[in-house]
Structure 1
């Protein structure tokens, strides 16, 4: 009787230790997820700051001034509103020919 009671108490103690370990792991995982999310937000903020800096540095008036300082002749790149591109009409990709079934192999299990 004493042996059974001791075994039950030890089993319950081991089970409670396992549950405490799992609980602590879950808490640690939640904390790590929170830290990762915070780092992600910081990186996104830094990315938006860089995008803003790039957009500010590449404004058309600044690009024109930089080209004038370099003394290079500027040739504009046609944009999507360039009407010369649209006069030809739409161009579609060619459809590849359908594969010809070979007669010497069985297809679809038949």
Structure 2
């Protein structure tokens, strides 16, 4: 009797475990983050490919002159990029200003 009950419980646990994705995030992301609309741009990487500098912003590979949402990729350097729109300009750096300031203090 106990063996039958235990085996039934084990089989039901295995079937539930197989339907759950262990890599699925615990929390759902907001719908705005999933669509990429009106998301603040985050500079993730600057890639040197020959003479040209490409950048990765929010997972999208761009080069100078490309657009990201409402922003135009105006300038690309090895340390930062400048995005511009009709309303404003944004400077995105690979390193935070805290790191930059600590380097200035060391000199």
TM-score (norm: length of structure 1): 0.34
Larger radius of gyration: 1
Bigger RCO (CA 8 Å, 6+ sep): 2
> Larger strand proportion, structure 1 or 2?
2
> Larger helix proportion, structure 1 or 2?
1
TM-score (norm: length of structure 2): 0.35
